[in-house]
Amino acid sequence: MSVPKLTYFAIRGRGELIRLVMAAAQKQLDEVKVDFASWEEMKPSLYGSTNLECLMIDQIVQLKEDILTVEIDTVLGSDQSKIRFIHFTLTCLFGNSGPIMSKPRMTYFKYRGRGELSRLVMAAAGKELDQRIVDVPTWLKMKPNTFFQRVPFIEIDGQEYFQGNAIATYLARENGLYGSTNLECLMIDQIVQMKEDILLEEIKSFVGSDDQKDQAAKDLPEVVYPRVMQIFERLIQQNPSKSGFVIGNKMTLADLAIFEGTQSCYQGNPRFMSNFPELMKLRQKVAEADGVRQYLATRKQTGI
């Protein structure tokens, strides 16, 4: 029998009983004594160990969110949405992988939607984002050959990665626009996900029966926007560094998410937005940032 190996700190703690047992049995015990810092490095992480691994994890976590959104819709909604749910779940689970491309490229519609945050990240990073802008008929032809059967997706080294916010987060990580501590990342993630919540509410005013659309269009200015703008305003005020950005003293993905999350409201009702002075200042700082400024100068306005 080979000699067992105990990995533990150089203290008694939870290792000593094992040592005593082996000593009493007069058996050999090999030991690897680690200090706390090297244990942190050895410890297996439950998250990715590279930015690309994090993107792969994030896209799956966000797929779980998509499934929940459709499940909620299924409980509350029409027969049509129930059929959509079954189709969506099956295609996510059994979809075919798509064609292999070597140059990183994002595929999305011409709208801001779920592609714009990645565009803003790349603009803020001063980098070009290679894009394939598709219209709906083109997308419907491509769709069966894509893995998640949804846009946006990005192809990196022959692999497709999905989920707009996972992609934007990856690009932010790669370009120093994400958090520098786990807690900062959590603060950024909560804001990115609020942007998604806003978009889901905005989409409701385009889909469903006329009554549902009317109700959603009414809820946006009366319920949704006041709540989220107030939250953004407070978060900016509460930033201890008083930088005018929402986290720390430099622009991050969170500021870009706030900029994008408030864009439709700003376009539709700039007077309402003036009730939130910190938010308006943040929007201006983002709009004037190098890279973003040049990008916005040529961007075509879309409703969503």
Ligand X SMILES: N[C@@H](CCC(=O)N[C@@H](CS)C(=O)NCC(=O)O)C(=O)O
CB atoms within 10 A of CB 159: 16
Q: Which CB atom, from 109 or from 225, has the smaller least distance to ligand X? A: 109
Tokens describing residue 280: 């308006």
Question: Which strand (E) or helix (H) includes residue 7?
Answer: strand 5-9
Task: Read off φ and ψ for residue 101, nearest 5 degrees.
Answer: -120, 150
User: ω into residue 152 within 30 of 0, thus cis?
Assistant: yes
Q: Which CB atom, from 62 or from 262, has the smaller least distance to ligand X? A: 62
Residue 113 sits in the site that holds ligand X (CB under 6 A)? yes
Binder of ligand X out of 112, 114, 119, 173 (CB under 6 A): 114
Contact map string, positions 66 to 85, toward ligand X, x by CB under 6 A: x-------------------
Binder of ligand X out of 107, 118, 146, 163 (CB under 6 A): 163
CB atoms within 10 A of CB 36: 7
CB of 162 to ligand X, least distance (A): 6
In DSSP terms, 8 is beta-bridged to 33
CB of 177 to ligand X, least distance (A): 18
Binder of ligand X out of 85, 98, 122, 150 (CB under 6 A): 150
Contact map string, positions 50 to 69, toward ligand X, x by CB under 6 A: ------------x---x---
Considering CB under 6 A, how many residues would be counted as binding ligand X? 11
Residue 151 sits in the site that holds ligand X (CB under 6 A)? yes
Q: In what order do the strands lie in the sheet with 131-133?
A: 131-133, 105-108, 153-156, 159-162
Q: Answer whether 60's CB lies under 8 Å from 92's CB.
A: no
Residue 117 sits in the site that holds ligand X (CB under 6 A)? no
CB of 150 to ligand X, least distance (A): 4
Question: How far is it, in rounded angstroms, from Cα 195 to Cα 269?
Answer: 18
Residues in contact with ligand X by CB under 6 A are 62, 66, 113-114, 143, 150-152, 163-165
